Structure formats: structure tokens, C-alpha cells
Homo-oligomer: A and B are copies of this chain.
């Protein structure tokens, strides 16, 4: 059975030594001294390691069942959810006005990583609730907030997001679900929504559905979409639960993974709903929380890679197979452990260097979100908007790849469900699809984010990398050669690609769009190259200080060197592909494929 160990030491390093959260001028960060952060992460780790992780294979094996209209979650999920609620873990970064603890989002992100790594399917129940909370918090009326938020902060009521319909996922303008206005100001919602994660279950008193629907007579397409609150049970004026609303579960989907989460077809049959924000502005309401939601999915990608890596590493240390070609390492045993073999190490180092780089990238992104929200910093908001599709697309693609590679370390046992490695890969697979499939992320990046505000944010990114290199070079030849030079080369590839898009995309947008996926990955490598350079710098500083965990800092630098030497060269291939343009991509008639 696989296990999970929360990476608190590394989380602390990223938060306090790299991002230096305790020294940042973002409101709310002033309380984050090392002891406070460590106490939170250590306490979260107990829940993640001892409660959520052991339930992960249970959720996978049992799955969710629809019995007489009621969704039954796997054995032990309710008790675990109660522990999570009682521990206040669902309220970490929520608004104190509604019962939240008001901690920075970056801390909630670090905790969320632990929970998601330990049990991705489980953590989607509070995760979706948090998304619905954020939408109501940002766009709901005071009355709506007062009615729904306190119960959602505690997860006594959970939440869902209802966007997709059978015939439309990405293209929500095709939506058919209708919202007919009633005399009392409410709406009657009718339609079918699919792929509704945590759509229904037996772990909360009420489920608060956020539903996108069209008000008849409104604008055509995406501009006619509005957002509604549709509670499973209507809420009386005194806050008590009232009548059952006309929303029901059509079925639970059989999926490749995340079996512990109930992915429902939801049927709305003149269900009572309440408009959030303005009519026809539903997409805008959804978009305001998209950075956060997509960052959360990018987090899922590397979190699954991390737990898979941890188990692959243990297996590689334990499993005796073959001998080190440079000399026996375990002369008293029948064979050497797998980890002596260079190709096993190559695989493990790929995983390790990705996971740690991704962690820094996501926490940095979370810090930007805090800066944008808590300081109304438009530059931070612009930069995180630019980087969001990279975080989502790159980290989930590579996260799945790493989980698959971790499975490979187990040989045949990796394919047997009992050993647990298959689940990590199967669960990680969804992150590439939901919350906007990765191809859509690439389109968002190249088709929208690059040119946003006149290209200001991507220029700011390049300036930041340039400044970082200029400020740090010339002090340590080894650091320059191992980190700054590859970072500079990769960043140059990214700029060249961007210039190619500007020049050739003008002539034909397909020249840019044909390279969008490669650009997203190219950008991801540059970001991880930047994070590794920052981490190596921080580790060097700690080593210079002396007295700390020397092995940890040296390992950090060595892992960074691996990423720079072995992963960053990928930017050259991405650039070549991008520069080959649209000709070969668009050459065939659809009929000739």
C-alpha cells in the first residue's frame, strides 16, 4: 500500500527562504512567522498522512454509488470530512466576516497541496466548495453571502460548479439550460449539466450548486449566460433547511480515476435558483475566480506527481534487482537496490526536479494572487493571469507524465492496482482535462494573455528574468554556468517564440495557434528554470549562513542543476516546432486525415 509524507521541510523552504513570505508587504503576511507556518503545515500533515492518504485506495476501489437517488461516498469519507471540518481546515483563507480564518491564500495552497497529494478525489469536495464560496463572495448580494457563506466556510454545506452540458464544454455559448424569471425575483432553472464534480453526496446537509444558464430573451451565445445559486434544499428565512429543490442526480459517471469523487449528471427541472451578480454577466463572474481554480488544478498535477514520486523512491531503495555496473553496492544482498542504476536515477531525478520546481512555481503564483487581491496590485494580477494557463497546462501535463514514470519504476507491479501506482496516474490524468482542457489553456495563453494590456505582462516577465540574471551573475562562476546561462538561453527561446508569434501571427493567426501548445510548455520550462535558480540562490545563502540542514541545501542545488541541464534544453525543440509554423499542421483536408 502506498504512503504519503507531507514535504513540510521543502514547503517551509519555499515559503520562507525563497518567497520570504514573512518579509513581504502583503497584508496578512505579517503574521506568518516560521513557527506559525510550521505549526499549520505540521498539523495539516497529520490529517493528510494519517487520515486522507489511507482512504485514497479505499475511494478508488469503492467509488461512489447512486442508490435510490442518493449518492453514497466510500467508507470512511464522512468521518474524514468531519475531522477536516472540525479542524477548521476548510476555512483557512476564507473571510473572517463569514467565519473564515483570513489566512493568506499562499498558506491555504500549501495545505491544499498536502490534502490533494494524499487524496485528490476526497479533497475535491472541499475544493469545489471553496470555488463556489469564492464566486458568491465576489459577486453575491449581502443577503446571499449571509445566507450561504458561513455554512460553506465550514463545509457544513458543500458547493459545486455547473458549466458543461452534453453538447458543450469549452464552447459555453452553446448552452441550453434555461433560467426563467419568477415574480418573486427568483428563477426556474431547467436543463442538464454533466461532469459535475462532488455533484451530490452524503457528507453534508446541503449542496449549493452554482449553475450557468441562459435567461430567455437575453443576448445570443456566451454573452447571454448568467450565474445562479441553486441549493439542493431551499433555505428558510431563519437559515434552516426548507423544501427539496427540483434538482436531481441523473447518474454517476464511471471514470478512469478520482473514483472517490462523485462526478454527476445533474438534472434541473424548474429548480429554484437565485441570480448572482448581474444578468448575462455569468461568464465574468466565473472568470474572476478562474486564476485561483486553475492554479488549484496545476497544484493537483504536481501533487499527484509528488506522492507517486515518494513511493517510487522508496521502492527504488528497497527493491533489489541487478548490480551497479561501477561496483556492487550491496555485497551482502542478492542484488543492489534499483536506485543504483543510472536510468532509474534519471527517472527519479526527472520527477523530483519537476515536483520541487512546480511547488515553488505554484506558491509563487499563490503569492501573486494574494498580492493582487490584498493589495489591489494590477501588475501582480496581470502577471498571474498570464501565468495561470502555464501553471494549469504545463504542470498537469508534466505531473501526469511524472506519475506515469513513477509507476514505471515499479515494473510489472506498477500496473497492478493493489500497489497503488496506477491510481496516481489515473487520478492525475483528469487534471489535464478539467477546468479547461490543456489545449484551451494554450489557446488562452497565446490567443489572449500574451497580448493582454498591450503585451505589458509578458514584457514584465521578461524584464523580471533579465533583472534577476543581471543582479545575480558574476558572483559565482559555477552558479552562472549551471543556472543563469541555461535560464538566459531558455528565456531567449521564449522571447524568440513570442516574436515569431507577433510577426507571423499577424499574417495568419494559425501560425501562432499551431505553436500554442509548445509555447505553453516552453514558458513552463522557463518558469521552472527561474524557480530553480531562485531556489539554488536561497540554498546557497543558507549554506553560507551555516548551521542549517546542509544536506538539504546541497541536495536542492544538485536537483536544480539536474533540471537546468536535463529539462531546460527542451525549450530549443519547442522553439523549432513553433517556428515550423502552421503549414504542416494545417496541410490536410479533414477528409484526407
> Which A residues lie at the B interface, using CB under 8 A?
164, 167-171, 174, 194-195, 253-257, 313, 317, 320-322, 325-326, 334-335, 337, 339-349, 352, 400, 404, 407-408, 411-412, 414-418, 422, 425-426, 429-430, 432-434, 437-439, 442-443, 447, 508-510, 513-514, 516-517, 551-552, 554-555, 558-559, 561-562, 565-566, 569-570, 572-573, 576-577, 580, 582-588, 590, 592-593
CA of A562 to CA of B325, assembled, Å: 40
CB neighbours (8 Å) of A580 from chain B are 565-566, 569
**11 A-B contact pairs sorted by A residue (CB < 8 Å):** A169-B411, A170-B411, A256-B417, A256-B425, A341-B443, A342-B586, A343-B439, A400-B404, A414-B433, A415-B434, A561-B583
A255 with B415: CB separation less than 8 A: yes
A516 with B582: CB separation less than 8 A: no
Interface-centre pick from A167, A313, A554, A573 (highest chain B CB count, 10 A):
A573
CA of A343 to CA of B562, assembled, Å: 31
Which of B326, B411, B577 contacts A437, CB < 8 Å?
A: B411
Residue of B nearest to A170 (CB): B321
Which of B346, B432, B590 contacts A585, CB < 8 Å?
A: B346
Q: Answer whether A592 and B416 are a contact pair too, CB < 8 Å, given A342-B585, A343-B516.
A: no
CB neighbours (8 Å) of A510 from chain B are 325-326, 342
Q: Can you tell how many copies of this chain the complex includes? A: 2
CA of A184 to CA of B89, assembled, Å: 72
CB neighbours (8 Å) of A447 from chain B are 325
Q: How far is the CB of A221 from chain B (nearest CB, A)?
A: 9
CB neighbours (8 Å) of A407 from chain B are 429
CA of A585 to CA of B573, assembled, Å: 21
Q: How far is the CB of A362 from chain B (nearest CB, A)?
A: 21
CA of A443 to CA of B344, assembled, Å: 11
B439 with A344: CB separation less than 8 A: yes
CA of A181 to CA of B412, assembled, Å: 31
Which of B167, B171, B573 contacts A322, CB < 8 Å?
A: B171
CB neighbours (8 Å) of A582 from chain B are 342
Which of B170, B195, B417, B434 contacts A255, CB < 8 Å?
A: B417
CA of A407 to CA of B344, assembled, Å: 28
CA of A321 to CA of B586, assembled, Å: 18
CB neighbours (8 Å) of A164 from chain B are 412
Interface-centre pick from A164, A416, A418, A430 (highest chain B CB count, 10 A):
A416
A555 with B342: CB separation less than 8 A: no
Residue of B nearest to A443 (CB): B343
B514 with A346: CB separation less than 8 A: yes
B569 with A584: CB separation less than 8 A: no
Residue of B nearest to A590 (CB): B339
Q: Known A-B contacts: A254-B416, A569-B572. Give 11 more (CB < 8 A).
A: A167-B320, A255-B416, A255-B417, A255-B422, A256-B422, A325-B509, A326-B510, A347-B439, A561-B583, A562-B587, A572-B572
Q: How far is the CB of A444 from chain B (nearest CB, A)?
A: 11
